Amino acid sequence: MKKKYIGFIICLILICAVMFASYRRFQSSHTTWTITQYGDNDGKNQMFYTIESSAGGLVVVDGGWTDNEENVREAIAEKGNSVDAWILTHPHPDHIGAFNQVYANPQGITIKEIYTIALDYQAYEKKAQEWDDINTYKTFLDLTKGTDSLKYLHTGDSFSLLGLTVNVFSAYDDHVDQVTNDLCNDGSLMFKINGKEESMLFCSDVGAVMSDEIIAAYGSQLKTDYIQMGHHGNGGLSEEFYKLTQPKAAFFDAPDWLMNNTNGGTYNTPEKRDLMANMSAEIYYYATAPNTIYLK
């Protein structure tokens, strides 16, 4: 009788293990990712996205200006106050300002991993442009010095986050020094996230000077379902580059004055919007933010 009982328990455990494994496989095959673009309440351009997995987990991309700190904290708090990975595309203040504030004083926020570019501080300081704020980068380096969770990304890297495959198409290296003086923008992180069926390409602030070599290296891989436009949709990557992407939706990290060039400036954002619209891409920008898509 005792042997039968033990046998029954073992069989029950095996059945439960098989059922659990089957459930995990089913859950994995049906995972979706919620990607949200956030705007700016003060009418400034910046970059801030969250990526949530239906199986659990949160990735933050950039975060915007220092004064966007509270909006970033609120978004993270709504999602459980735990960040599995924080991706920082480059150290301009409209991208990492809020991160610096949060990292310096987490107030209950847990950040497990940080991914960014290995921008050479001395080279950046030497070539800094009028739009660069190198103090923001210095603050970041001081805050994260000796941090084990900090990981530097390079062109060609591939890794997994929340069940997504992340492919790095461009990131700062010594070569960037040779082709541009705009190290921070042109050396910023371009990466593609791949779900089970769909993908999204994040171009951050990569500029036109990098277009040809990215096309040469990744050509057909640039095709994507969703795209975050380079440099807020103003300037940035070439028309040839964008024509290879053929997305069904394009995200412009731009307020109305930049999106529609209402300040009488020389912004070519309207031309980029028309380019993407002519590919039948749905257009998202700050006027309708927060903007959300569900990646399969």
- Residue 4: what pLDDT? 58
pLDDT tens digit sequence for 127-176: 999 999 999 999 999 999 999 999 999 999 999 999 999 999 999 999 99
The CA distances from residue 103 to 38, 63, 75, 166, 256, in Å, are 20, 12, 15, 24, 30
* CATH domain 33-295 topology: Metallo-beta-lactamase; Chain A (3.60.15)
Measured between alpha carbons, how far is 17 from 23 in angstroms, rounded to an integer?
10
- Residue 215: what pLDDT? 98
- Residue 23: what pLDDT? 45
Summarize the confidence of residues 263-272 as an average pLDDT: 90
Cβ count within 10 A of residue 129: 11
Measured between alpha carbons, how far is 152 from 113 in angstroms, rounded to an integer?
11
**Domain residue ranges in the chain:** 1-30, 33-295
Rounded to a whole number, what is the largest CA-CA distance in the chain?
Answer: 89
Q: What average pLDDT is seen over the chain? A: 93
- Residue 17: what pLDDT? 54
Q: Is 228 in contact with 176 (CB distance < 8 Å)?
A: no
Measured between alpha carbons, how far is 58 from 50 in angstroms, rounded to an integer?
7
DSSP state of 79: T
Question: What element of type H or E holds 141?
Answer: helix 134-144
- Residue 41: what pLDDT? 85
- With a pLDDT cut of 70, the percent of the chain lying above it is 90
Q: How confident is the model at residue 24 (pLDDT cuts 50, 70, 90)?
A: very low
- Residue 110: what pLDDT? 98
Please determine, for residue 69, whether its predicted confidence score (pLDDT) is greater than 60. Answer: yes
- Collect contacts of 222-226 with beta carbons under 8 A, ≥24 apart: 222/169, 224/192, 224/199, 224/200, 225/198, 225/199, 225/200, 225/249, 225/295, 226/35, 226/198, 226/199, 226/200, 226/201, 226/250, 226/251, 226/293, 226/295
Backbone phi, psi, residue 285, to 5°: -155, -170
Model-level pTM greater than 0.75? Answer: yes
